[in-house]
């Protein structure tokens, strides 16, 4: 098999060629998408996790296999639906969007439950954190979100008020939460949790993207 064919086969089978004769499997990160999902909230972290030098590959998950259109107009064909996703994924990412407020994403709950039960980390940002709150996943752990008042208004069964932390992003017990302005902090906490690169490199990456090259 020549190198081009082998590269193609490895792309299909989630593996990376390290050098000739050496292949390693990539661990899948599932990103839940739906019509109107906030695409920018996943942009920083997905581009980092999906890099050739990482142990991970990003795959999309939806309630069905129909194409989904993001808030920014990107049309995405999901890799998996809730009925055929792999059970060995490395993390579940829940991205924000108005559909959470409209109760249109409730059928993702069994996937979240599977992840939590099997100690697979879950990361939720913006309105997705309200979903986590409503379903009891934040009651006993430190977490963040789009202000405590907003979380209480969107999650009437939420009982974790005393554990709400006023920070951009929080990781606790394998669950990462963030508010809608915190896509960088969200990415940073995920990268730290998954040990994507050395801590000092992650901090450098965060500072560079947060501050930029020049003051505006």
* Whole-number Å distance between alpha carbons of 144 and 167: 6
Question: Looking at the predicted structure, is the pLDDT value of residue 95 above 60?
Answer: yes
User: What is the rounded average pLDDT for all residues in the chain?
Assistant: 92
Q: Which of 10, 46, 126, 172 is catalytic?
A: 126
Element spanning 134, H or E: helix 127-134
Yes or no: say if 137 and 53 are a contact pair by the CB < 8 Å rule: no
Burial letters 15-52, b for 16+ CB under 10 A, else e: bbeeeeeeeeebbbbbbbbbebbbbebbebbbebbeee
Task: Say how far apart CA 185 and CA 182 lie, in whole Å.
Answer: 5
Q: pTM of the predicted model, to two decimals?
A: 0.89
CATH fold for domain 27-203: Rossmann fold (3.40.50)
Between 18 and 159, the more confident residue is: 159
Annotated catalytic residue 172: no
In tens, the pLDDT along 115-174 reads 999 999 999 999 999 999 999 999 999 999 999 999 999 999 999 999 999 999 999 999
DSSP labels, 85-99: --TT-SEEEE---GG
Span 99-113, pLDDT tens digits = 999 999 999 999 999
């Amino acid at each position: 098999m020549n190198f081009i064919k082998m590269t193609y086969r490895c792309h299909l089978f989630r593996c990376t060629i390290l050098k000739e004769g050496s292949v390693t499997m990539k661990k899948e990160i599932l990103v839940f998408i739906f019509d109107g999902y906030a695409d920018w909230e996943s942009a920083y972290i997905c581009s980092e996790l999906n890099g050739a030098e990482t142990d991970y590959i990003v795959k999309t998950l939806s309630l069905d296999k129909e194409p989904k259109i993001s808030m920014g107009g990107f049309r995405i064909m999901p890799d998996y639906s809730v009925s055929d996703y792999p059970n060995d994924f490395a993390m579940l990412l829940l991205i924000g969007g108005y559909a959470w407020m409209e109760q249109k994403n409730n059928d993702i709950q069994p996937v979240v439950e599977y992840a939590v039960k099997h100690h697979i980390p879950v990361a939720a940002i913006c309105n997705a954190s309200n979903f986590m709150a409503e379903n009891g996943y934040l009651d006993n752990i430190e977490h963040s979100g789009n202000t405590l008042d907003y979380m209480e208004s969107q999650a009437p069964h939420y009982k974790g008020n005393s554990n709400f932390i006023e920070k951009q992003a929080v990781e606790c017990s394998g669950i990462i939460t963030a508010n809608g302005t915190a896509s960088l902090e969200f990415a940073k906490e995920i990268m730290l949790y998954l040990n994507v690169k050395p801590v000092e490199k992650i901090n450098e990456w965060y500072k560079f993207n947060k501050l930029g090259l020049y003051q505006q």
